[in-house]
A = this chain, B = another copy of it.
Amino acid sequence: MLQIRDGVLQVLAWQRARPPDPGRWALPGGLLGDDEDVATSVRRQLAEKVDVREVAHVEQLAVFSAPHRVPGVRRIATAFLGLVPSDADPAVPADTAWHPVDALPDPAFDHAEIVEAARDRLRAKLSYTNLGFALAPREFTISTLREHYAAALGHPVSATNLQRVLARRAVLEPTGALAPPGPAGGRPAALFRFAEPTLRVTDAFAVLRPPGEHARPAVP
């Protein structure tokens, strides 16, 4: 579960009380039930940690199956990436907290590797899909969105170019409203929202397109 908090990409983890790996931080998860598939199971596990209605996107990452990745009984994990918009502040249990993804202290088992996979996937999909909808608040200025993208991608992002890229792909739509300027003044920023609340690939193939598509498909 990832979220932008205080301008930093953070991951939700809980501190293990009992062996194995006591005191270390683990990702939320649990056993697969007999009557559920892994996606359903993830939703159920999350419900124990946060309000699931605040989770904007969930997707499968990969299977982690090294024979002794967890001491004791063999466990095979199907890792997921979950995203919470930055304007949500879900209540979490006492043993659970958010940590910057770059500095998850003392990760349990192979969970550092899983966080790495999640970060990579997020970075990639921000580039070629509208996945930003799952990180951004409901309404936002381009400035705010720029900060979110920069935090998630790990490098500076230009507000000018971000604006244009997302506009060309019809990913954003203006709400019509304006955000009031800060105490130092400045032009009021226009508010935007994501046009669609679900994942859409906006930049399918950079090369080797089918003939007749000189550029990306036009907006219908």
Contacts and interface: CB of A to CB of B under 8 A. Distances in A.
A157 interface: yes
Interface string A5-28: 000000000000000000000000
B206 A128 contact: yes
A76 B127 contact: no
Contacts of A128: 205-207
Chain A interface size range: 35 or more
A156 interface: yes
Interface stretch (A29-37, A82-90, A174-182): A29-37
A63 B65 contact: no
A32 B165 CA distance: 45
Contacts of A65: 32, 37-39, 78
Nearest to A124: B205
A188 to B, nearest CB: 26
14 contacts: A32-B65, A34-B67, A34-B74, A36-B67, A37-B65, A37-B67, A38-B63, A63-B78, A126-B208, A128-B205, A149-B208, A153-B210, A162-B208, A206-B206
